[in-house]
Amino acid sequence: MISSFEILLKSSLKKVLYAIIQHERNEAAPLSIQTLIQVKKELEEMIRVMDPKVYMPGYPRYIFDWPDEDGLIEELVNVAYLYGKIKKS
């Protein structure tokens, strides 16, 4: 069964993938391509592990100071925060 949080993670991952495509097309996009690729890897690991005691993303520390015109950075920081609150039984 897919949890609502996993759906949220996958939605954020889709937005990151879209931003990567925007960079590849030389369109305006949030963050740098290198940062987006790192965030993509971390989101994929979060989806795979789904346990903050085993894996916690590091991306919030280095995206927090970027300008956030489209809300992606705020969403990614919130997703990481919520991920840290997951309780495993």
Rounded to an integer, what distance in angstroms lies between the CA atom of residue 73 and that of residue 43? 13
- Phi, psi angles (nearest 5°) of residue 24: -65, -25
Answer for the pair 17, 41: CB distance below 8 angstroms, yes or no.
Answer: no
3-state secondary structure of 26: coil
- Domain ranges (residues) in the chain: 4-84
Per-residue model confidence as pLDDT tens digits over 62-86? 898 898 989 999 999 999 999 999 8
Q: State the pTM of this model.
A: 0.92
Lowest mean pLDDT among 30-39, 41-50, 59-68, 72-81: 59-68
pLDDT given at position 1: 46
